[in-house]
Amino acid sequence: MRRPLVRDDLKSMEGYHSPQVDVEVRLNTNEAPFPPPDEFQEAFLNEVTKVDWNRYPDRLAQSLREDLAALHQVQPEQVFVANGSNEVLQTICLTFGGHGRTALTFEPTYAMYGQIARTTQCRVAEVQRDEAFKVSIDVLERGIETEKPDLMFLCSPNNPTGTPESSAVIEAALGLSSAAVVVDEAYGQFADFTALDMFGSHDASDSLIVTRTFSKTWSMAGVRLGYCIAPPWMLDEFQKVVLPYHLDSVKQIAGQVALRFQDQMEKRVTQIADERKRVSESLTLMELDVWPSQANFILFRTTPCDLSGNEVWKRLLDRSVLVRNCSGWPGLEDCLRVTLGTEQENTIFLEALQEALQ
Ligand SMILES: *Cc1c(COP(=O)(O)O)cnc(C)c1O
């Protein structure tokens, strides 16, 4: 039997790869190591009994968007919610990308920008960050001038390097081009900087989009909920490309209930930031190359210890510790990225690493 032909441009593409292996200590996908508080479960189950199962969900997720708007002191018309920030990114690519258009990325960065943009048949232009993995104004200017992007992705703090962005770079991006400027703040609460302030402080640009997710700081990766803050005019456009009723009723409730426990979320963030300091110091003492991180993960290079990244990654796996192997990514040769887990998990990781480096 003959198979139907897959789109030509899909042939050279690969799907998302992050091994889901059964190990004791899983520090490879930047999830929160703790579940939401017990009170969340109780409140959520209570609210779920009110769902009209036979009815479609509120298509605009009005209540959830109002709560998010209050959280960030913006208007509900500036909030768009979707199934994880990946669906937000896809919606942005469907709106501003597509055939004949260009998306600009600053490498190394989150691989899904390029991946999602390409699935909309958008051309992807990559420019390199500097040695410290920063986007310099110079790099930004050159990228904009040569590639003439229709949209660009700045990740703050950047995955997988942990580097935060600055308002100078974002203002330059907004000033130098008419592209949609996406600032992905999946790890925003772990950092000193947020581009969200730029919506309030001055006449917010017509092209700034800041994305956030419940997957990391809110301990809700299993729920698949994300959102962005954007100028109100974009929301009408997003509604044209997103599927009707894409956000189910149960998820809308989960998001609203989660927001009631903001204090606990912030406590978890502080706890992880403390661990980040401890683990980062230990890695430095092991004489690895360690990049300063403002996220819930740390990037390090193994070569100062005369071992390849692949080898160290395997030795860790032998000890039932899974981290992200970034060794094969351009610009990240021999680099591993470890997600910060609980204090106990981090200690097990550090001990396993110490052994692996012998
Ligand atoms: C984890 C992550 C996301 C989150 O994606 P979700 O679809 O919300 O789970 C988005 N951007 C970056 C850079 C990430 O690391």
Q: Is 115 in the pocket of ligand 1 (CB under 6 A)?
A: no
Q: Is 30 in the pocket of ligand 1 (CB under 6 A)?
A: yes
pLDDT at 203 > cutoff 60: no
Q: Is 84 in the pocket of ligand 1 (CB under 6 A)?
A: yes
pLDDT at 204 > cutoff 80: no
- How far does the chain reach from its first CA to its final CA, in angstroms? 55
- Cα-to-centroid distance, 161 and ligand 1 (Å): 14
Q: Is 186 in the pocket of ligand 1 (CB under 6 A)?
A: yes
Average pLDDT over residues 142-155: 98
- Cα-to-centroid distance, 220 and ligand 1 (Å): 12
pLDDT at 152 > cutoff 90: yes
Percent residues over pLDDT 70 in the chain: 99
d(CA 236, CA 217): 29
| Amino acid code (one letter) for 89 | L
> What local confidence, expressed as pLDDT, does residue 321 receive?
97
pLDDT band at 205 (very low <50, low <70, confident <90, very high): confident
- Cα-to-centroid distance, 85 and ligand 1 (Å): 6
Pocket test for ligand 1, best of 29, 105, 109, 159 (most atoms within 8 A of CB): 159
d(CA 346, CA 323): 11
pTM to 2 decimals? 0.96
Average pLDDT over residues 197-204: 71
Q: Read off the pLDDT of residues 81-113 as tens digits, 9 standing for 90 and up.
A: 999 999 999 999 999 999 999 999 999 999 999
pLDDT at 130 > cutoff 60: yes
pLDDT band at 16 (very low <50, low <70, confident <90, very high): confident
- The count of other CB atoms within 10 Å of the CB of residue 326 is 21
Q: What angle do CA 140, 236, 256 make, to 5 degrees?
A: 90
> What local confidence, expressed as pLDDT, does residue 15 receive?
79
Judge whether 161 and 143 are in contact, CB under 8 Å: no
Closest CA to 121 of 98, 91, 141: 98
Q: Read off the pLDDT of residues 241-285 as tens digits, 9 standing for 90 and up.
A: 999 999 999 999 999 999 999 999 999 999 999 999 999 999 999
Q: Is 159 in the pocket of ligand 1 (CB under 6 A)?
A: yes
> What local confidence, expressed as pLDDT, does residue 341 receive?
98
d(CA 285, CA 168): 33
Residue nearest to atom 15 of ligand 1 (CA): 159
Q: Is 215 in the pocket of ligand 1 (CB under 6 A)?
A: yes
> What local confidence, expressed as pLDDT, does residue 201 receive?
58
Q: What is the mean pLDDT of the chain?
A: 95
Rounded to whole angstroms, what are the CA distances from 55 to 83, 97, 245? 19, 33, 11
- Cα-to-centroid distance, 86 and ligand 1 (Å): 6
Which of 34-38, 166-170, 191-195, 196-200 has the weakest average pLDDT?
196-200
